[in-house]
A and B are shown apart, each in its own frame.
Chain A
Amino acid sequence: MASIRPPSRSGYRHEIVEMSAILKTEDLKMIYRVGKVDVNALRGVNVSVAPGEFVAVMGPSGCGKSTLLHILGGLLKPSSGRVLVDGEDLAAMSDAARTDLRRRKIGFVFQRFNLFPTLTAEGNLKLAERIHANGKPSLDAAARREILRLLRLENKMGHKPLEMSGGEQQRVAIARAIINRPSIILADEPTGNLDTENSTIVLDMLRELNQEFKQTIVMITHNPEAATVASRIIEMRDGTIAKER
C-alpha cells in the first residue's frame, strides 16, 4: 500500500512507499528539561527510510540530529510521536523491549569509536557477538572472516584500541556494528575524528557495506563531502527537517 504523507511542520513533503519503510517517524517530538527550562530538541519530525537506503542527516550543532539518531536506535524514548522500526513502534515499547530490538536490528557507529579499551579488536567483536547471541550460538567463523576481510582488519585482531590508528579503530567499530548483521546501521559522525584519508576509507567501507549487505544506513555528518556517499541527504534545522535532496 502506497501513501503520500501530509506535510510536516517544517513544510517539507516527501513521498514514500509506506509498507516498505524500515525506519519511520511520525510527528516525533522530544523535549528535554534543562533546569527549569524545556528545550524542544525535536519539533514533530516525520521521516521514512526504505530498506537498503543510505541516508545522511546534516545540520548545525543543536538542530536535533543526534537526538533523532538516539531515538531511532531506541536509546532515547521520545516525548511524543511514533517511531517504527521494521514495523515495531519503539515509542510504545518498554526499555527492555527497546533494548531487545536494538540488539536484533540495529548497529551503532560513533564518532569516538567507543571501543572497549581493555579488549583487543577481536575481543570487542566477540563481546558484541555474545550480547547479540543472548545465549544462542553466535556468528560462525567464516562470516566473521568475511567482515574482517571487507574492513581490512585481518591483521589487527590482536591489537587493543590504543595500539591502532583512528581509522583502524573506526573500522573495528564498524565491524562490531555489523558483526551481527543488523538490518540498520546508525552512524553518528563516523568520520568526525578522522583525517581526510581515513575518512575516505571509512566512507567507502560504509558504502560498500550498504551495497554488499544491503544494510540500511542513517549517518549523521557535518561534512558535506561525507554526505555525498549517501543516496539521500536530510537537512535538519531547529528540531525539524528543513530540506531533503
Chain B
Amino acid sequence: MDNLVLSNIRQRPTRTLISTSGVALGVILVLLMTALVRGMLNDRLRRDQGVGAEIQFYRMGGGTLSASNAMPLDVRYADRLKEIPGVRMVSPYAHYVQNGNTGIGIEMIDAIELEGYSAISNLRIVEGRAFQSDDEVIVDEFRARRGNMGVGSAIQVFGKTMKVAGIYSPQIGSRIKMSLGALQRALSQENKCLGIMVKVDDGVAPAEVARRINDKLPNNHVVLTSEIGVNFGNQIPGIQGFVRAVMGLSLVVSSLVILLAMYTTITERTREIGILKSLGASKTYIIGVIEKEAVAISLIGVAAGLVVARIAAFVIERATTLRLEFHWTWILIAALIGVGAGLIGALYPAVRAANQDAVKALSYE
C-alpha cells in the first residue's frame, strides 16, 4: 500500500467503520424517506388513475391525497354533475385514514357507493360478496395476500373489528373499501362525501367537461385525474418541508460523525502531521490529504447506504403494504449529502492539523 489516504482507511478499520456508518445513516435516512413518500404517493396515484374516472370533483381544499377524514362535500352535487353535458357517470366517495396495520405508515379506506363505483371502474368481486352491512368491508387481492386474509376474516377499521365480505379486483383506489353510507353514519356526516368521481362520455375531451363543470359549479376544485401525479411534492401540504428537514438532519448527523472520527484520528496522527510538515508539505497539501480521506470514507458510506437502503426497502415492502420507489435524483442528492457531510465534517480537523506547530507535532507521543 503506497497511498497514504487508502492505507489509513485500511489500517484504521474501526474508525473507518464508524465514519462510513455515519455517512451511510444519512444516506439511508434520505433515501428511505423519499422512497417511502414517493412510493406511497405514486402507488396511490396509479391506483386512483386506474379507477377510470377522468375528473375528480372536490370542495376547495379537498383532494384524493388528503389525509383528512373530513367530508366537506354534499352528495347531492352528484345529481347536479350528471346534468352537465359530457358527464356519463358519477360516484361520490370518501376516505378514512388510520394507522397502518403493521404500525408503520398509514392505511386509507375508500368509502364508496359500490354500484356507481363499479360501473366506472369495472371493479368486480372475485371471491365472496360485496359488503352488505356497516361492519363489512371488501379488500383487494394484494391486501388479502399480504394480510393473510380471506372471506370472513376479521380486520380492524375505526378501531373496531369488521369482517372481510369479499375480495375484489383490479387493484384500484384504496386497498380496503367499505360502504359510503357506513362511513357517513360512523362519522355522523349524513349525505356528505369527500369528492365525486366523474366519468365522461366516450369521445368527449375531459378538459372540456372540466371547463363546463367549473362554469356550472364555480368555486369548487375540479382536477383531471391524469394531472394528479404531476409534481407529487405539491400534492400533500408540508411534504416538501418534511423532506428538506430529513435532508438537513442527515447532513448534520453525517457531518458530526465524520467530524468526531476525523478529529480523533487527526489527534492520534499528530506526529504524522509533523512528519508531513518536515517533508515540506504545505497547509493546502495536508488539508487535501485529510479531505481526500474523508471523501473516500464518505464514498464508501454512500455505497453502503445505498445497499442498506435497498435491502431495507425490500424488507419493508415484504413486511408491510407500504411501497418504496427510489429515484436517481434522490440517489444523487443522497450521495451529494454524504460526500458533502464528509467534506464539511473533516474541514475543521484538517485546518487544525495544517496549522499545527511542526516541532510540537513531531514530539507528540
CA separation between A73 and B7, bound complex, in Å? Answer: 28
B70 interface residue (CB < 8 Å to A): no
B219 interface residue (CB < 8 Å to A): no
**Least Cβ–Cβ distance between A87 and chain B, in angstroms:** 18
The segment from A8-16, A55-63, A121-129 found at the interface with B is A121-129
Q: Are A118 and B362 in contact (CB under 8 A)?
A: no
With A76-B359, A110-B362, A118-B11 given, is the CB distance from A132 to B280 under 8 Å? yes
Q: Are B1 and A99 in contact (CB under 8 A)?
A: no
With A70-B359, A114-B362 given, is the CB distance from A123 to B7 under 8 Å? yes
- Which residue from A99, A110, A118, A122 sits with its C-beta under 8 Å from B280? A99
**Least Cβ–Cβ distance between B113 and chain A, in angstroms:** 73
CA separation between A76 and B274, bound complex, in Å? Answer: 12
Interface residues on B, range: 20 to 34
Chain A residue nearest to B10 (CB atoms) is A118
The segment from B17-25, B82-90, B281-289, B313-321 found at the interface with A is B281-289
CA separation between A99 and B278, bound complex, in Å? Answer: 8
A237 interface residue (CB < 8 Å to B): no
Dominant secondary structure of chain B at its interface with chain A: helix
Q: Are B276 and A122 in contact (CB under 8 A)?
A: no
Contacts of B186 in A (CB 8 A): none
**Least Cβ–Cβ distance between B277 and chain A, in angstroms:** 7
- Which residue from B3, B283, B358 sits with its C-beta under 8 Å from A75? B358
B4 interface residue (CB < 8 Å to A): yes
- Which residue from B1, B276, B280, B362 sits with its C-beta under 8 Å from A123? B1
Q: Are B278 and A102 in contact (CB under 8 A)?
A: yes
Give residues of chain B (246-285) contacting chain A, Cβ–Cβ below 8 Å. Answer: 271-272, 274-283, 285
A54 interface residue (CB < 8 Å to B): no
Q: Are A100 and B282 in contact (CB under 8 A)?
A: yes
A234 interface residue (CB < 8 Å to B): no
Contacts of A100 in B (CB 8 A): 280, 282
A-B contact count (CB 8 A): 75
CA separation between A75 and B359, bound complex, in Å? Answer: 6
Contacts of B280 in A (CB 8 A): 99-100, 102-104, 106, 131-132
Q: Are B279 and A128 in contact (CB under 8 A)?
A: yes
- Which residue from A114, A119, A131 sits with its C-beta under 8 Å from B271? A114
Give residues of chain B (283-300) contacting chain A, Cβ–Cβ below 8 Å. Answer: 283, 285
CA separation between A122 and B359, bound complex, in Å? Answer: 25
Contacts of B11 in A (CB 8 A): 117-118
**Least Cβ–Cβ distance between B15 and chain A, in angstroms:** 12
With A99-B280, A102-B278 given, is the CB distance from A118 to B7 under 8 Å? yes
**Least Cβ–Cβ distance between A195 and chain B, in angstroms:** 23
CA separation between A176 and B11, bound complex, in Å? Answer: 22
**Least Cβ–Cβ distance between A108 and chain B, in angstroms:** 5
Q: Are A131 and B1 in contact (CB under 8 A)?
A: no
Interface centre among B271, B272, B278 (most CB of A within 10 A): B278
A142 interface residue (CB < 8 Å to B): no
Q: Are A123 and B2 in contact (CB under 8 A)?
A: yes
**Least Cβ–Cβ distance between B356 and chain A, in angstroms:** 11
Interface centre among A100, A128, A176 (most CB of B within 10 A): A128
- B contacts, CB < 8 Å to A: 1-4, 7-8, 10-11, 271-272, 274-283, 285, 358-359, 362
A-B contact pairs, 7 of them (CB 8 A): A75-B277, A100-B282, A118-B10, A119-B2, A123-B7, A126-B2, A131-B285
- A contacts, CB < 8 Å to B: 70, 73, 75-76, 96, 99-100, 102-104, 106, 108, 110, 114-120, 122-123, 126-128, 131-132, 134, 176
9 smallest CB-CB distances across A and B, nearest first, come from A103-B280, A123-B2, A118-B7, A118-B11, A75-B358, A102-B280, A108-B278, A114-B275, A131-B281
